């Protein structure tokens, strides 16, 4: 549902305000993703992990009613059947270099994003003896970063999305790299540094995502949902790879290895955006 709502918002928005509208919708989506860590950590510690899934089922049921009653009806933008639609996505991928760059860059950012969040609880427990509720509370830092979405949308409308992608990827790389200084600090200062870095890289990753969506939605208005699906396929592949690599790196090289992985992924994303600009 979430990935249908964002293209719908882009379709309803005037072209000059598309970035801002997409950013506003993405704020709600990203806050839900990030704050779910806070809620799930608290619920799991208080009532057990099964209650997390009960709460999720109730939330989905309420969302179903809200979507059915609140969203307008949209006319189809194509007469292709389902199989042909899926097949057309490969053609879209081949035709549009801007789409490929966006998917690659966002996927590389997602590697670091996922590596951090998937290993954070293990690191906090081993180094600071903190439980799942504390790890979930770090989602509040990410929620602050998610407020980048509407700001990024407005900036993309005014200055162009390319500026936002480079700024966001650079900010994410700098924020991840900053965490390498943590071992030099006392325990409380280390936690503060991790919180500040989480705000910074979440801000950068989410700003870049909104800018990439603005780029992708402008490629072909009749294929926005398919273009969005390809963009998020790249991002989700990156998140899956980041979770797997993060666990391996943490076991082999510790938390600094995870920081190095996340920094490298963000720098690679920045390189993709800069290379695309120079062509």
Question: In this predicted structure, which of 38-42, 83-87, 159-163, 212-216 has the lowest mean pLDDT?
Answer: 38-42
Single pTM value for the model: 0.83
109: nearest Cα among 172, 49, 161: 172
Region for 144 from its dihedrals, namely left if φ exceeds 0, alpha if ψ lies in -120 to 50, beta otherwise? alpha
Tens digits of residue pLDDT in 70-95: 777 776 667 778 788 888 999 999 99
Most confident of 29-33, 52-56, 256-260: 256-260
Tens digits of residue pLDDT in 129-144: 887 777 777 777 767 7
For residues 93 and 230, the answer to whether their CB atoms sit within 8 Å is yes
Residue 151: per-residue pLDDT: 81
Q: Which CATH number fits domain 2-278: 3.90.1300.10, 3.40.1410.10, 3.20.20.370, 1.20.1250.20?
A: 1.20.1250.20
Instruction: Work out the percent of the chain whose per-residue pLDDT is above 70.
Output: 94
Q: Helices then strands (H, E): number in the chain?
A: 11, 0
| 73 or 109: which leads in pLDDT | 109
Tens digits of residue pLDDT in 226-249: 998 999 999 999 999 999 999 999
Residue 205: per-residue pLDDT: 93
Reported confidence tier of residue 179, pLDDT bands at 50, 70, 90: very high
Instruction: Work out the percent of the chain whose per-residue pLDDT is above 90.
Output: 49
Angstrom distance (rounded) from CA 20 to CA 218 = 14
For residues 247 and 56, the answer to whether their CB atoms sit within 8 Å is no
For residues 212 and 231, the answer to whether their CB atoms sit within 8 Å is yes
> What is the average per-residue pLDDT within 45-53?
88
> How many residues does the structure list for the chain?
279
């Amino acid at each position: 549902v979430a990935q249908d709502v964002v293209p719908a918002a882009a379709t309803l928005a005037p072209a000059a305000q598309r970035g801002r509208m997409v950013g506003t919708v993405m704020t709600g989506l990203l806050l839900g993703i990030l704050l779910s860590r806070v809620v799930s950590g608290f619920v799991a510690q208080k009532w057990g992990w099964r209650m997390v899934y009960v709460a999720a089922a109730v939330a989905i049921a309420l969302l179903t009613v809200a979507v059915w009653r609140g969203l307008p009806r949209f006319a189809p933008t194509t007469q292709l059947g389902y199989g042909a639609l899926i097949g057309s996505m490969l053609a879209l991928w081949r035709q549009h270099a801007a789409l490929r760059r966006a998917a690659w860059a966002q996927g590389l950012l997602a590697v670091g994003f996922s590596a951090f969040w998937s290993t954070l609880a293990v690191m906090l427990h081993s180094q600071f003896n903190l439980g799942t509720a504390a790890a979930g509370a770090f989602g509040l830092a990410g929620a602050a970063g998610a407020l980048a979405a509407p700001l990024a949308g407005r900036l993309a409308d005014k200055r162009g999305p390319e500026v936002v992608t480079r700024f966001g990827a650079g900010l994410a790389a700098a924020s991840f790299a900053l965490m390498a200084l943590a071992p030099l600090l006392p325990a409380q200062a280390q936690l503060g540094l991790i919180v500040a870095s989480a705000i910074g890289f979440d801000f950068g990753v989410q700003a870049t995502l909104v800018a990439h969506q603005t780029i992708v939605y402008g490629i072909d208005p009749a294929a926005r949902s398919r273009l969005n699906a390809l963009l998020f396929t790249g991002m989700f592949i990156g998140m899956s790879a980041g979770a797997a690599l993060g666990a391996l790196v943490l076991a082999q090289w510790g938390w600094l290895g995870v920081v190095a992985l996340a920094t490298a992924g963000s720098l690679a994303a920045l390189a993709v955006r800069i290379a695309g600009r120079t062509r």
